[in-house]
Amino acid sequence: MLYDTMIKYLRKDIYPFHMPGHKRNASMMPPDLLSLDITEIPGFDNLHNAEGVIRSAQETASAVYGADACLFSVNGSSAGIIAAICTACEICGEHRNLLMARNSHVSAFSGLVFSGARPVYIYPEETAYGLCGGIEPAHIKHMLEINPECAAVFITSPTYEGFVSDIKTIAEYVHEYGKLLIVDEAHGAHFPFYDTTPEPAIRLGADIAIISPHKTLPALSQSALTLIRGERVDVDRLKFFMRVCQTSSPSYIIMSTIDYTFQSLSRNRGVYATYARRLASARAALSELSAFRLIGEEMTGTAGIYAIDLSKMLFVALRGMSGYELERRLTREFKIQLEMSGDRFALALTSVADTCEGFERLIKGVTAVDALAANKGGETLRAPRVFLRAECRITPRQASFLPWELLGLHNSTGKISADLISAYPPGIPVLAPGELITSEIVGRLSDMGVNQIKTVKGL
């Protein structure tokens, strides 16, 4: 049934402005993927103790980002994030607090459950359009000053929407306080290949950066890298946790295509130059919309945003139509699927694998829908609040292992959540285990259609 549905969908020829970054463009992939599906036969190394060809592929990837070491993951950035949090929080023994951005992906919350760490939340700045911006370095410095027990700092840069924080200054502060900086850079795999993208976090001082080639490069789903730089990270322990978090039968298709991607893109920078030109002209063609606004460089320097990843084409809905409606119309009338949309925005994810025809479809579709929305007119759309402040009462691990009870949403105010509830994408929890359920959170969950919730029994 799944297979049939997929084939039916593919026949509709809907153009993917979403992940994976290979965009199903076969010219970007090795020709016969099935022939790459082997196991640890002699000569092919072992992911969990890499000493041969896998190790050398990891070294190639390390060199691309300027890291000292790289560990492949066939379980996405999720595995690297969980392993990095377990490694970082172990060093503080019993007092395993983690200074963590609340706009982290669900995998960081899984890392809290695995490690037992207690999060001390920091919040990104809010942009003019009600989105999560970057994290201000001064804010991190202040939080480290008043939370000296935190073992490490965990932030996401770029965000799903492409907003990059000032990693260099953040790293300086974090190291001044003797802590580790872990950057979830899952959406920044393409940074080294493109002249106008920000520098990779690992070159700017992050101790660990976790990257998903499958999101923004021509690589298969689940491909990811954990990059390490400097002496602060216990690499053996990180390797141990990477093994704990992954299958004992890692896919050679995924691992070899990571290698293929880095080798071919490093050799053939021309494809990136072509993509950069296509992207720039699509951005220029969509720069004068009326009902929507294509976000660009003008956001740099606002709301903690140090740089912008322009490969993410983020359309903010100003009037006449929501981001959801833009996405729906693009799919129905122009055969384009976006990465995600919300009331206030819609996001097209572009990559080096996008074709000229794909960009043309996007320009035509967005221009036409924008004209329609402009004609409709109406109120300027209201920006929803990004997220509410959360209060962590017990650790996510305690909340996940204690007995729970299922309550009606409206009876759950004042209880402690045993559940993680998020909209996907972007996969940032509205409510995480261990957090107090407030009436504001109940309101937000009710808007999402949630009507029951797991709470910690007796608390």
Ligand X SMILES: Cc1ncc(COP(=O)(O)O)c(C=O)c1O
CB of 221 to ligand X, least distance (A): 8
CB of 408 to ligand X, least distance (A): 30
- 421 secondary structure, DSSP code: E
Nearer to ligand X, 89 or 394 (CB): 89
Nearer to ligand X, 153 or 437 (CB): 153
Cα–Cα distances (Å) from 256 to 26, 67, 220, 357, in that order, read 16, 20, 10, 29
Q: How far apart are CA 356 and CA 339, in angstroms?
A: 19
**Structure token pair of residue 200:** 């990779």
CB 158 within 8 A of CB 184: no
Q: What are phi and psi of 86, to 5 degrees?
A: -60, -45
List contacts with ligand X (CB under 6 A). Answer: 76-78, 105, 107, 156, 160, 184, 186-187, 212, 224, 426-427
CB of 161 to ligand X, least distance (A): 10
Q: Which helix (H) or strand (E) holds 183?
A: strand 180-184
Nearer to ligand X, 157 or 398 (CB): 157
Residue whose tokens read 């981001």: 323
Residue nearest to ligand X (CB): 76
Pairing verdict, β 345-349 and 224-228: unpaired
CB 364 within 8 A of CB 83: no
Nearer to ligand X, 186 or 253 (CB): 186
- 173 secondary structure, DSSP code: H
Q: Which helix (H) or strand (E) holds 82?
A: helix 76-90
Q: Which residues contact 205 (CB under 8 A, 6 or more apart)?
A: 167, 168, 170, 171, 172, 175, 181
CB of 82 to ligand X, least distance (A): 10
Nearer to ligand X, 89 or 416 (CB): 89
CB 158 within 8 A of CB 187: yes
Nearer to ligand X, 180 or 453 (CB): 180
Nearer to ligand X, 339 or 419 (CB): 339
Q: Which helix (H) or strand (E) holds 254?
A: helix 252-267
